[in-house]
Protein backbone atom coordinates (compact mmCIF):
# COMPACT_ATOMS: atom_id res chain seq x y z
CA UNK A 1 0.00 0.00 0.00
CA UNK A 2 2.91 2.34 0.67
CA UNK A 3 3.81 1.88 -3.01
CA UNK A 4 0.35 3.09 -4.08
CA UNK A 5 0.63 6.22 -1.97
CA UNK A 6 4.28 6.84 -2.80
CA UNK A 7 3.54 6.72 -6.51
CA UNK A 8 1.17 9.65 -6.03
CA UNK A 9 3.46 11.65 -3.76
CA UNK A 10 6.81 11.51 -5.57
CA UNK A 11 7.08 15.29 -5.62
CA UNK A 12 5.51 17.60 -3.07
CA UNK A 13 6.62 20.52 -5.23
CA UNK A 14 4.07 19.67 -7.91
CA UNK A 15 0.72 21.51 -7.87
CA UNK A 16 -1.87 19.57 -5.89
CA UNK A 17 -3.93 17.44 -8.24
CA UNK A 18 -7.70 17.08 -7.79
CA UNK A 19 -9.84 13.99 -8.29
CA UNK A 20 -13.61 14.28 -8.47
CA UNK A 21 -15.24 11.32 -6.73
CA UNK A 22 -18.94 10.47 -6.98
CA UNK A 23 -20.12 8.02 -4.34
CA UNK A 24 -23.51 6.63 -3.42
CA UNK A 25 -24.77 6.44 0.14
CA UNK A 26 -23.87 2.84 0.88
CA UNK A 27 -20.12 3.49 0.68
CA UNK A 28 -20.21 7.10 1.91
CA UNK A 29 -19.31 6.46 5.56
CA UNK A 30 -16.33 4.31 4.57
CA UNK A 31 -15.20 6.79 1.92
CA UNK A 32 -15.43 9.73 4.32
CA UNK A 33 -13.13 7.94 6.76
CA UNK A 34 -10.64 6.70 4.16
CA UNK A 35 -10.37 9.79 1.97
CA UNK A 36 -8.57 12.18 4.37
CA UNK A 37 -5.65 9.80 4.94
CA UNK A 38 -5.30 9.08 1.23
CA UNK A 39 -5.44 12.77 0.38
CA UNK A 40 -2.84 13.62 3.01
CA UNK A 41 -0.41 10.87 1.99
CA UNK A 42 -0.84 11.19 -1.77
CA UNK A 43 -1.03 14.99 -1.96
CA UNK A 44 -4.17 14.59 -4.06
CA UNK A 45 -7.23 16.69 -3.32
CA UNK A 46 -10.37 14.53 -3.32
CA UNK A 47 -13.61 16.37 -4.09
CA UNK A 48 -16.66 14.23 -3.26
CA UNK A 49 -20.14 14.39 -4.72
CA UNK A 50 -22.90 12.28 -3.18
CA UNK A 51 -25.92 10.74 -4.86
CA UNK A 52 -28.02 7.62 -5.21
CA UNK A 53 -26.88 4.65 -7.31
CA UNK A 54 -30.10 4.77 -9.29
CA UNK A 55 -33.55 6.30 -9.28
CA UNK A 56 -35.09 9.40 -10.78
CA UNK A 57 -33.73 12.03 -8.38
CA UNK A 58 -31.91 14.89 -10.09
CA UNK A 59 -28.92 14.44 -7.77
CA UNK A 60 -28.53 10.70 -8.39
CA UNK A 61 -25.20 9.64 -9.86
CA UNK A 62 -26.68 8.53 -13.22
CA UNK A 63 -28.49 11.87 -13.53
CA UNK A 64 -25.30 13.80 -12.73
CA UNK A 65 -23.29 11.91 -15.32
CA UNK A 66 -26.04 12.35 -17.89
CA UNK A 67 -25.60 16.11 -17.35
CA UNK A 68 -21.88 15.67 -18.07
CA UNK A 69 -20.77 16.42 -14.51
CA UNK A 70 -17.13 15.48 -14.06
CA UNK A 71 -16.23 12.23 -12.31
CA UNK A 72 -12.78 10.69 -12.15
CA UNK A 73 -13.92 7.91 -9.81
CA UNK A 74 -17.48 6.60 -9.44
CA UNK A 75 -18.54 4.41 -6.50
CA UNK A 76 -21.98 2.83 -6.46
CA UNK A 77 -23.96 -0.40 -6.47
CA UNK A 78 -22.55 -2.97 -8.91
CA UNK A 79 -25.65 -3.21 -11.08
CA UNK A 80 -25.70 0.58 -11.29
CA UNK A 81 -22.05 0.89 -12.28
CA UNK A 82 -22.44 -1.91 -14.84
CA UNK A 83 -25.29 0.06 -16.40
CA UNK A 84 -23.15 3.21 -16.48
CA UNK A 85 -20.37 1.24 -18.18
CA UNK A 86 -22.84 -0.04 -20.77
CA UNK A 87 -23.92 3.56 -21.44
CA UNK A 88 -20.33 4.71 -21.82
CA UNK A 89 -19.96 6.75 -18.63
CA UNK A 90 -17.52 4.37 -16.86
CA UNK A 91 -14.57 2.35 -18.18
CA UNK A 92 -15.73 -1.28 -17.74
CA UNK A 93 -12.17 -2.59 -17.44
CA UNK A 94 -11.60 -0.41 -14.38
CA UNK A 95 -14.53 -1.66 -12.29
CA UNK A 96 -13.39 -3.05 -8.94
CA UNK A 97 -15.62 -4.47 -6.20
CA UNK A 98 -15.04 -2.82 -2.81
CA UNK A 99 -17.61 -4.08 -0.32
CA UNK A 100 -20.85 -5.95 0.20
CA UNK A 101 -23.81 -4.52 2.05
CA UNK A 102 -27.12 -5.73 3.46
CA UNK A 103 -30.41 -4.03 4.19
CA UNK A 104 -31.39 -3.04 7.71
CA UNK A 105 -34.22 -1.28 9.50
CA UNK A 106 -34.11 2.01 11.39
CA UNK A 107 -36.37 3.34 14.13
CA UNK A 108 -36.33 6.69 15.89
CA UNK A 109 -33.90 6.80 18.81
CA UNK A 110 -35.74 6.12 22.05
CA UNK A 111 -38.52 4.18 20.34
CA UNK A 112 -38.93 0.47 21.08
CA UNK A 113 -36.63 -1.63 18.87
CA UNK A 114 -38.75 -4.43 17.39
CA UNK A 115 -37.51 -7.89 16.51
CA UNK A 116 -37.31 -8.52 12.76
CA UNK A 117 -35.07 -11.58 12.88
CA UNK A 118 -37.72 -13.95 11.51
CA UNK A 119 -40.20 -13.73 8.66
CA UNK A 120 -43.17 -13.74 11.04
CA UNK A 121 -41.69 -11.01 13.21
CA UNK A 122 -40.79 -8.91 10.17
CA UNK A 123 -44.31 -9.15 8.74
CA UNK A 124 -45.80 -8.22 12.10
CA UNK A 125 -43.64 -5.09 12.28
CA UNK A 126 -44.72 -4.05 8.78
CA UNK A 127 -48.37 -4.51 9.71
CA UNK A 128 -47.99 -2.56 12.96
CA UNK A 129 -46.06 0.40 11.54
CA UNK A 130 -47.95 3.57 10.69
CA UNK A 131 -45.53 4.42 7.86
CA UNK A 132 -42.65 2.62 6.15
CA UNK A 133 -39.82 4.47 4.44
CA UNK A 134 -37.54 3.00 1.78
CA UNK A 135 -34.79 4.49 -0.37
CA UNK A 136 -34.89 5.44 -4.02
CA UNK A 137 -31.62 3.60 -4.60
CA UNK A 138 -30.55 -0.06 -4.78
CA UNK A 139 -32.10 -1.34 -1.56
CA UNK A 140 -35.36 0.49 -2.10
CA UNK A 141 -35.65 -0.71 -5.69
CA UNK A 142 -35.43 -4.28 -4.44
CA UNK A 143 -37.96 -3.69 -1.65
CA UNK A 144 -40.49 -1.84 -3.78
CA UNK A 145 -40.26 -4.00 -6.90
CA UNK A 146 -39.42 -7.46 -5.59
CA UNK A 147 -39.90 -8.06 -1.89
CA UNK A 148 -42.93 -6.08 -0.77
CA UNK A 149 -45.22 -6.92 -3.73
CA UNK A 150 -44.65 -10.64 -3.14
CA UNK A 151 -45.70 -10.52 0.52
CA UNK A 152 -49.14 -11.79 1.38
CA UNK A 153 -49.67 -8.63 3.45
CA UNK A 154 -48.83 -6.28 0.58
CA UNK A 155 -52.42 -5.02 0.14
CA UNK A 156 -52.40 -4.03 3.82
CA UNK A 157 -49.07 -2.18 3.76
CA UNK A 158 -49.07 -0.67 0.28
CA UNK A 159 -50.59 2.65 1.34
CA UNK A 160 -48.02 3.02 4.14
CA UNK A 161 -44.97 2.82 1.88
CA UNK A 162 -43.04 6.07 1.43
CA UNK A 163 -40.26 6.42 -1.16
CA UNK A 164 -37.46 8.68 0.11
CA UNK A 165 -35.42 10.58 -2.49
CA UNK A 166 -32.28 12.70 -2.04
CA UNK A 167 -32.06 11.98 1.69
CA UNK A 168 -31.08 9.17 4.02
CA UNK A 169 -34.09 7.12 5.07
CA UNK A 170 -32.73 7.02 8.62
CA UNK A 171 -32.70 10.84 8.73
CA UNK A 172 -36.39 10.87 7.83
CA UNK A 173 -37.02 8.29 10.57
CA UNK A 174 -35.02 10.39 13.05
CA UNK A 175 -37.28 13.40 12.34
CA UNK A 176 -40.35 11.26 12.92
CA UNK A 177 -41.66 11.71 9.39
CA UNK A 178 -41.87 7.93 8.96
CA UNK A 179 -42.08 5.39 11.78
CA UNK A 180 -39.68 2.79 10.39
CA UNK A 181 -37.32 2.81 7.44
CA UNK A 182 -35.22 0.43 5.40
CA UNK A 183 -31.84 1.12 3.82
CA UNK A 184 -28.30 -0.24 3.62
CA UNK A 185 -26.98 -0.83 7.16
CA UNK A 186 -23.99 1.42 6.42
CA UNK A 187 -26.38 4.28 5.68
CA UNK A 188 -28.30 3.84 8.94
CA UNK A 189 -25.44 3.62 11.44
CA UNK A 190 -24.04 7.18 11.08
CA UNK A 191 -27.37 9.00 11.42
CA UNK A 192 -27.97 10.74 14.78
CA UNK A 193 -31.46 10.32 16.14
CA UNK A 194 -31.98 6.93 14.49
CA UNK A 195 -31.35 3.46 15.89
CA UNK A 196 -30.41 0.36 13.92
CA UNK A 197 -33.05 -2.30 14.64
CA UNK A 198 -31.43 -5.17 12.76
CA UNK A 199 -31.05 -6.71 9.33
CA UNK A 200 -33.84 -8.22 7.26
CA UNK A 201 -34.38 -11.94 7.81
CA UNK A 202 -31.90 -13.94 5.74
CA UNK A 203 -34.52 -15.37 3.37
CA UNK A 204 -35.69 -11.82 2.56
CA UNK A 205 -32.27 -10.19 2.42
CA UNK A 206 -30.63 -8.73 -0.67
CA UNK A 207 -26.87 -8.27 -0.63
CA UNK A 208 -25.57 -5.35 -2.67
CA UNK A 209 -21.99 -5.09 -3.90
CA UNK A 210 -20.53 -1.59 -4.04
CA UNK A 211 -17.92 -1.08 -6.73
CA UNK A 212 -15.65 1.66 -8.04
CA UNK A 213 -14.77 2.57 -11.61
CA UNK A 214 -13.01 5.29 -13.57
CA UNK A 215 -15.12 7.88 -15.35
CA UNK A 216 -14.76 7.46 -19.09
CA UNK A 217 -14.03 11.16 -19.59
CA UNK A 218 -11.45 11.39 -16.80
CA UNK A 219 -8.10 12.87 -17.79
CA UNK A 220 -6.47 11.49 -14.63
CA UNK A 221 -6.95 7.77 -15.12
CA UNK A 222 -3.68 6.67 -13.50
CA UNK A 223 -4.39 8.65 -10.35
CA UNK A 224 -8.00 7.43 -10.31
CA UNK A 225 -6.78 3.83 -10.59
CA UNK A 226 -4.45 4.33 -7.62
CA UNK A 227 -7.30 5.65 -5.49
CA UNK A 228 -9.45 2.65 -6.39
CA UNK A 229 -6.56 0.31 -5.54
CA UNK A 230 -6.28 1.98 -2.13
CA UNK A 231 -10.01 1.65 -1.43
CA UNK A 232 -9.85 -2.05 -2.38
CA UNK A 233 -6.67 -2.76 -0.41
CA UNK A 234 -6.33 -4.84 2.78
CA UNK A 235 -5.25 -1.64 4.55
CA UNK A 236 -8.71 -0.14 3.98
CA UNK A 237 -10.64 -3.27 5.01
CA UNK A 238 -10.85 -2.57 8.80
CA UNK A 239 -12.29 0.90 8.19
CA UNK A 240 -14.79 -0.48 5.69
CA UNK A 241 -15.86 -3.15 8.20
CA UNK A 242 -16.38 -0.54 10.93
CA UNK A 243 -19.06 1.17 8.84
CA UNK A 244 -21.27 -1.92 8.56
CA UNK A 245 -19.95 -3.21 5.24
CA UNK A 246 -18.14 -6.44 4.41
CA UNK A 247 -14.95 -5.63 2.47
CA UNK A 248 -14.31 -7.63 -0.67
CA UNK A 249 -11.01 -9.46 -0.37
CA UNK A 250 -8.74 -9.57 -3.45
CA UNK A 251 -9.59 -13.22 -4.21
CA UNK A 252 -13.25 -12.20 -4.57
CA UNK A 253 -12.56 -9.58 -7.22
CA UNK A 254 -13.05 -11.77 -10.28
CA UNK A 255 -16.66 -12.40 -11.16
Residue 189: band (very low, low, confident or very high) from pLDDT cuts 50, 70, 90: very high
Cβ partners under 8 Å of residue 25, min gap 6: 50, 52, 135, 137, 168, 183, 184, 186, 187
Least confident of 1-10, 62-71, 130-139, 156-165: 1-10
Give residue 134's pLDDT.
98
Region 112-132 average pLDDT: 98
- pLDDT(70) > 80: yes
Give residue 54's pLDDT.
81
| Residues 29, 82 share a domain | yes
**Cβ–Cβ < 8 Å for 73, 34:** no
What is the residue range of 199's domain? 103-204
| Residues 214, 92 share a domain | yes
Report d(CA 68, CA 88) in Å as an integer: 12
Give residue 5's pLDDT.
53
| Residues 58, 18 share a domain | yes
- pLDDT(226) > 80: yes
| Residues 18, 43 share a domain | yes
| Residues 130, 47 share a domain | no
Give residue 12's pLDDT.
47
Cβ partners under 8 Å of residue 91, min gap 6: 85, 213, 214, 215, 216, 221
Q: How far is CA 224 from CA 72, 91, 92, 112, 242, in A?
A: 6, 11, 14, 45, 24
| Residues 230, 151 share a domain | no
- pLDDT(6) > 70: no
Region 13-41 average pLDDT: 90
132-135 and 161-164 beta bridge pairing: parallel
Report d(CA 91, CA 98) in Å as an integer: 16
Report d(CA 132, CA 102) in Å as an integer: 18
Average pLDDT, the chain: 92
Give residue 249's pLDDT.
73
Give residue 71's pLDDT.
97
Residue 13: band (very low, low, confident or very high) from pLDDT cuts 50, 70, 90: very low
Query: What 3-state class would DSSP assign to 206?
Result: coil
- pLDDT(181) > 50: yes
- pLDDT(2) > 90: no
Report d(CA 244, CA 185) in Å as an integer: 6
| Residues 219, 97 share a domain | yes
Q: How many domains does the chain have?
A: 2
Q: Write down which residue in 204, 221, 242 finishes a domain.
A: 204
CA-based nearest residue to 216, from 65, 44, 88, 105: 88
Query: What 3-state class would DSSP assign to 209?
Result: strand
Amino acid sequence: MAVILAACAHSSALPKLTLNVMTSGGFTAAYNQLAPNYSRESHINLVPTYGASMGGASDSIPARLARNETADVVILARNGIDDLAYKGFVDPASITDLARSQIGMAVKSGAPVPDISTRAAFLNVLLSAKSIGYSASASGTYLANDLFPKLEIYPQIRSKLVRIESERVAAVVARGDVEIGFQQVSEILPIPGASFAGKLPEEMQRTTTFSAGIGRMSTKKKEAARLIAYLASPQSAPTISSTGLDPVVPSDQKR
